[in-house]
Amino acid sequence: MKFIFKLFKRTAILLFIVIGLAVVFIYATGNQYIFRGVQLTYLKGNKTANIDDRLDFDTRMIANGEIQEWELSDNYNSIPLTDTLLAELEAYQSAGFLIVKDGKIWNEHYFNGYSDTSLTNSFSVSKTMVTLLLGKAIEEGFIENLNQPITDFLPELKDDSLAELCTVGDLSAMTAGYDWSENYYFPLNPTAKAYYGRDITKQILSRGFVKESGKEFEYLSGVTQLLGIVIRRAVDEPLSDYLSEKFWKPMGMKSPGFWALDNPDGMEKAYCCVYSNVRDFAKFGQLILQNGKWNGKQLIDSSFVALMKTPNVSAFSQVEQPIYGYSLWLDYNHDTPFYSLIGHLGQYIAVIPDHNMIVVRLGKKRDRRHTKLGVLPGNDLYYYVDEAMKMIRNHVEMQLQEVGGLQLDY
């Protein structure tokens, strides 16, 4: 019995020493954000950030104005979800699934207590919103063009010769040679620090560049945060207010949105973390599909939106499929060509231009079984696109049967 007690005592002392050394190391290396990260993830039973964490962070409201409700299709929810799609959506803790066809909501379903008013985290979907803000800032003369050097707005980086070669366009196209490690699960990395830290601007501007920009595609969240800082300084107002003024209000969003901040009066986490609902998120897909026009008004220059949707071929090798434009993921080689806004854990706003369609899926988990469906990250995205097309075909077939069996061209 004494032996067991001594063993337990020694183990407890050893554990205490290890924990103490770990705490000292965390503070000594400036990584105190880890404590907040542990509190907001692991102690809540999660392995990473989650779509319902809005109240865990300081936020700034993205004010809405006069509401413009979506029009419902005459065929609204007349075609049920396919059995396999329904099983997929339920199995991976989806919040909502929506199909817009010809500018009207064609199909809409919610799960696990979520509704059309639930506000969830967009994660990296917000990167596309930041590039829309970039386009607007260029249009309004706050930024000269995509080739303007970032050091015009970030004098802190002027001593970095590689930073001086980076343009605002490089930030949007993910061709900046910035020092960053993209990881959403390992706590000791800059992405986690950006999410849970208290001074994102200081963190971002303290890192340098490690290679020449404009040469090759590399997806880095820190690059979008740099772009957010550039736009914030160029327009001289918070990103949330600029987004509200230029897009949220003109598009008649159903609800005010919220953008997570690093501290109460701080900077928006530009690379992630706009909170909104399924219907309002879908409007960004519709805006891009319509080349920046909304209800007859051009909210952003159509040529800029066209550039966003164009593969940045020079950033990929000859043997690679160019899958990125300016903050849009592209797969024009798929059976159903589409482009998409993509966020962590399977936040998708897919645009299918040939069929005038938007497919939105929000939820808590991605299905990682679908590993060979396409070239874009989030292979289950292809599953949602393909199943949505099956539903459209089912509807067309039903209509054809009613009129005598004409040729199906979908």
Look up tokens 């160019």; give the residue. 322
Helix (H, G, I), strand (E, B) or coil at 250: coil
The architecture (CATH level 2) of 54-403 comes to 3-Layer(aba) Sandwich (3.40)
Give the pLDDT confidence score for residue 5 in this predicted structure: 54
CA distances 174 to 182, 288, 404, Å, are: 12, 19, 51
Q: Is the dihedral of CA 193, 128, 374, 349 positive or negative?
A: positive
Q: Locate 57 and state its tokens.
A: 């962070």
Query: Which residues, in sequence order, are bridge partners of residue 107?
Result: 99
Look up tokens 């327009």; give the residue. 235
Residue ranges in the chain whose pLDDT is less than 70: 1-31, 370-372, 403-410
Dump pLDDT digits (tens) for 210-268.
999 999 999 999 999 999 999 999 999 999 999 999 999 999 999 999 999 999 999 99
Q: Locate 273 and state its tokens.
A: 């973390």
Contact 223, 214 (CB under 8 A): no
Candidates 257, 169, 251, 177; CA nearest to 216 is 177
CA dist., res. 366 & res. 385, Å (int): 14
Contact 361, 342 (CB under 8 A): no
Give the pLDDT confidence score for residue 41 in this predicted structure: 80
Q: Locate 288 and state its tokens.
A: 């891009």
Helix (H, G, I), strand (E, B) or coil at 297: strand
Give the pLDDT confidence score for residue 22 in this predicted structure: 47
Contact 379, 373 (CB under 8 A): yes
Helices assigned H by DSSP within 104-166: 125-139
CA dist., res. 23 & res. 353, Å (int): 52
Phi then psi dihedrals of residue 26, to 5 deg: -60, -45
Q: Locate 108 and state its tokens.
A: 């809409």
CA dist., res. 107 & res. 72, Å (int): 9
Q: Locate 113 and state its tokens.
A: 């207590």
Give the pLDDT confidence score for residue 250 in this predicted structure: 98
Ramachandran class of 378: left when φ > 0, alpha when ψ lies in -120 to 50, beta otherwise: left
Give the pLDDT confidence score for residue 407 in this predicted structure: 55
Contact 41, 48 (CB under 8 A): yes
Contact 362, 94 (CB under 8 A): yes
- Residue 24 CB contacts under 8 Å (≥ 6 apart), including other chains: none
DSSP category for residue 167: B
Helices and strands (DSSP H and E) totals, the chain: 12, 12
Contact 62, 258 (CB under 8 A): yes
CA atoms within 13 A on the CB side of 141: 0
